[in-house]
Amino acid sequence: MTAIAETALFRAVGARTRRIRHSGWLNPQILVAGAVLAAWLFVVVAAPWIAPFDPLAETGARLSAPSAQHLLGTDSLGRDVFSRTLYGARESLPIAVAAIGASLIIGCLLGAIAGFFGGVVDATIMRVADITMAFPAILLAMAVAAALGPGLTNALLAIVAVWWPIYARLTRGQVMSIKEREHVEASKAIGSSRWRTLFRHILPHSVTPIMVNATMDLGQIVLLVASLSFLGLGALPPSPEWGAMITEGAKNFYQPWIAAAPGIAMVSVTLAMNFLGDGLRDVFDVRARR
Amino acid sequence: MGPATREEIMFRFILKRVASMPLLLLGVVTLAFVISRLLPADPIASIVGQRNLGNEEIVAAAEAKWGLDQPLPTQYLTYIGNLLTGDLGTSFQTKMPVSSDIAERLPATLELTLMALIIGAIGGILLGVISASRKNRAPDHVSRVFALIGSSLPIFWTGLVLLFVFYAQLGILPGPGRLSSRVIPPADVTGFYTIDALLQGDMPLFWDAFGHLLLPAFIMGWGLMGTISRLVRASMLDELGSDYVRTIRAKGVSESQLMRGHVLRNSLTPVVTILGFAFGAMLMGAVLVETIFSWNGIGSYAVEATRSLDYPAINAVCLLGGAVFLIANLVTDIAYPAIDPRVRLS
């Protein structure tokens, strides 16, 4: 099943069961996951200095197995797989972060407006969100990406189109419960405008659980970006984006090192994200509050 | 009249949910239509082929034939009108009615999805029980890691790796496709190769089809296995802390009987509801697995359709996906209060 469906399932589970809180901030799970992510962040910044070869140039014999010179071998065009994997982090990770960021902004804004103003505005926004969520995410993203044409930017737009309703729903729920609190009453009583009340007194209080969710989703987004690229709807050759590299590896099935490196890289990121999210969820106990 | 009985409330609740379905489906269709028509890409190239793009006559004739020369609102109304008569349109690519394309390919995906559900449910429940009965000990941790890995793996990559290991290296599982090459598919009764082979009484054929199902179904089911194991663990631990368990223990019932007869049974309610939801999500999650395993189902049909901007096919697959998702949700919403009387209807 898709990773996206999986996220949705985890949400459904979280909503219906009480999680057992048993760990604090400094548990090994969060630390290890954080270290892995920090290492990848370093790779994103420092790829040009630590990669031994140009990721786009033919620097060795074609399809050669891992050796002392080419640590992870070369692909069908003689490009160094190790260097490409390092550079791939620069393609895959920033796109995922940007997609989450844009979905957060759009989703939170629309969700806050829906929850705060209610009535027709609420109904309209939430019906659109419902309908969008009725689409299987990968399918909707495929349709959007196909229509826009392949490319990482369009893949990003496709993902935002699929992902914003999740945050819209979350924010709406948060805003609806917070707007009944006394400090909001007070803000209204002293004559603050409705927008000021929303942005100064309600939204800041809704942020934490939404951010934790976004952390958990980042891993899924990395997978979604790569899936689109793998289907030929995201990054295009010669980009070293991880999904595109795996497509390249699938074409050279009997040279497993080509697909192994980007795959392991991606798994290390998504696993770290999920472990981090899982750990944070225990710390904040967010799911129980939804 | 007295206050409404539970049956009456239930009936009204179901009626309300069912009544909202057509509107949601219309929304899904409209969104699919809008996405496919308002974006810049032009499908005409994929209809007439790159070579004929310069030929204005061919292009104009093709546009007229497929109704692409009409204004968008007209195209939309025609499309909705056709849908109401059960006409999903004609595929640009295969030049066949989309409904017959889908009917031909759906059984392959259904067979795969059901197998994945079975693997996910059985594996998940087993792992969950092991976790709950050995809470915070090694088996619990192993099962937690296994669950998290399941939802972290890129399906298309896992597929490649497992194919390489079990097919190319060890040779213990068959390669991609629904059957080995040169094996003739069974006569089409249900469209499920395993069942059709059994109906023919052809055991070698059954085992061939079954073997081909195992790897892709396991990969699809792995994520679900993780979800269900966490779910079963959490609800079993919840149950174990409740009063009735203390009473049963006090009566001297053995621990294994307590687990099987009472705790597990009560913990399975949420699993039933999640299966409906998972079915909807997985049916479409087949896209990536089918691509890797050359599985000739709806998922690979969707990929071909998006690659060639085959609007009628894309819209139809979206409609199917949306419909399955909505129906699965509906069934879940209805099943939940029916199975668990403690759930309040609102």
pLDDT exceeds cutoff 60 at B338: yes
Is residue B193 within 8 Å of residue B180, measured between CB atoms? no
* Residue B41, pLDDT score: 58
Structure-token match 């901007």, residue found:
B309
Task: For chain B, give the mean pLDDT.
Answer: 81
The C-alpha of B75 sits at a distance from chain A's nearest C-alpha, in angstroms, of 18
* Residue A2, pLDDT score: 45
Distance CA A88, CA A235 (A): 10
Asked if residue A231 is part of any domain, the answer here is: yes
Asked if residue A137 is part of any domain, the answer here is: yes
Identify which of B223, B87, B1 has the alpha carbon closest to the alpha carbon of residue A9.
Answer: B223
Is residue B210 within 8 Å of residue B194, measured between CB atoms? yes
Is residue B92 within 8 Å of residue B43, measured between CB atoms? yes
Which of A7, A13, A262 is opposite residue B274, by nearest beta carbon? A13
Decide if B39 and A243 are in contact by the 8 Å CB cutoff: no
Nearest CA in chain B to A5: B281
Structure-token match 């028509």, residue found:
B37
Asked if residue A238 is part of any domain, the answer here is: yes
- 3 state SS of A74: strand
A4 to chain B: which residues are within 8 Å by CB? 281, 285
Instruction: Write the CATH number for A165.
Output: 1.10.3720.10
Q: Is the peptide bond before A28 cis (omega within 30 degrees of 0)?
A: no
Decide if A139 and B27 are in contact by the 8 Å CB cutoff: no
Structure-token match 């295969």, residue found:
B94
Which of B234, B277, B287 is opposite residue A9, by nearest beta carbon? B277
A225 to chain B: which residues are within 8 Å by CB? none
A147 to chain B: which residues are within 8 Å by CB? 35-36, 39-41, 309
The C-alpha of A18 sits at a distance from chain B's nearest C-alpha, in angstroms, of 7
Total domains in the fold of chain A: 1
Asked if residue A4 is part of any domain, the answer here is: no
Decide if A146 and B151 are in contact by the 8 Å CB cutoff: no
Distance CA A265, CA A82 (A): 10
How many other CB atoms are found less than 10 A from the CB of residue B19?
9
* Residue A22, pLDDT score: 46
Total residues found in chain A within this entry:
290
Residue from A139, A252, A267 to probe the interface with B (highest B Cβ count within 10 Å):
A139
Decide if A139 and B321 are in contact by the 8 Å CB cutoff: yes
DSSP lists the bridge partners of residue B97 as B90
Is residue A112 within 8 Å of residue A178, measured between CB atoms? no
* Residue A101, pLDDT score: 93
Return the ∠ at Cα B114 (arms to B304 and B157), rounded to 5°.
Answer: 50
Dihedral of the alpha carbons of B228, B233, B237, B242, in degrees to the nearest 10: 30
E strands present in A126-208: none
Nearest CA in chain B to A11: B227
Domain that holds residue A223: 26-46+80-285
Is residue A108 within 8 Å of residue A171, measured between CB atoms? yes
* Residue B341, pLDDT score: 63
Q: What is the CA radius of gyration of chain A?
A: 22
* Residue A265, pLDDT score: 92
Is residue A119 within 8 Å of residue A137, measured between CB atoms? no
Return the structure tokens found at B207.
């085992």
Distance (Å) of CA B4 to CA B8, B19, B339, B341:
6, 20, 20, 16
Asked if residue A235 is part of any domain, the answer here is: yes
A249 to chain B: which residues are within 8 Å by CB? 160
B251, burial (CB in 10 Å: exposed 0-12, middle 13-18, buried 19+): exposed
Which of A1, A267, A275 is opposite residue B223, by nearest beta carbon? A1
Is residue A232 within 8 Å of residue A247, measured between CB atoms? yes
Decide if B278 and A1 are in contact by the 8 Å CB cutoff: yes
Is residue A257 within 8 Å of residue A81, measured between CB atoms? yes
Decide if B281 and A2 are in contact by the 8 Å CB cutoff: yes
The C-alpha of B24 sits at a distance from chain A's nearest C-alpha, in angstroms, of 6
Mean pLDDT of each 10-residue bin along chain A, 290 residues long: 48 44 65 90 87 78 77 80 88 91 93 89 87 79 79 87 89 85 83 82 80 82 88 83 87 84 90 82 53
Contacts across the A-B interface (CB distance below 8 Å): 204
* Residue B42, pLDDT score: 65
| pLDDT (tens digit per residue) in B149-199 | 887 888 888 888 888 888 888 888 888 888 887 778 888 888 888 888 888
B223 to chain A: which residues are within 8 Å by CB? 1-3, 5-6, 9
Identify which of B77, B117, B328 has the alpha carbon closest to the alpha carbon of residue B218.
Answer: B117
| pLDDT (tens digit per residue) in B190-238 | 888 888 888 888 888 888 888 899 999 999 898 888 888 888 888 888 8
> How large a percentage of chain B has pLDDT more than 70?
90
Distance CA B134, CA B147 (A): 16
Structure-token match 């139809």, residue found:
B316
B237 to chain A: which residues are within 8 Å by CB? 20
Asked if residue A14 is part of any domain, the answer here is: no
| Chain A interface includes B220 (CB < 8 A) | yes
| pLDDT (tens digit per residue) in B65-112 | 777 777 778 888 888 888 888 788 888 778 888 888 888 889 999 999
Is residue B195 within 8 Å of residue B94, measured between CB atoms? no
Structure-token match 């934490």, residue found:
A208
Identify which of B161, B163, B149 has the alpha carbon closest to the alpha carbon of residue A257.
Answer: B161
Distance CA B113, CA B220 (A): 8
Distance (Å) of CA A86 to CA A92, A241, A245, A261, A262:
10, 10, 12, 10, 9
Asked if residue A280 is part of any domain, the answer here is: yes
Which of B221, B288, B292 is opposite residue A2, by nearest beta carbon? B288
Which runs of consecutive H residues, i.e. helices, occur in chain B? Answer: 6-38, 44-48, 56-65, 72-84, 98-133, 138-150, 155-162, 193-200, 203-240, 243-250, 255-258, 264-267, 269-292, 298-307, 311-339
Q: Which residues contact A181 (CB under 8 A, 6 or more apart)?
A: A205
Asked if residue A218 is part of any domain, the answer here is: yes
The C-alpha of A44 sits at a distance from chain B's nearest C-alpha, in angstroms, of 21
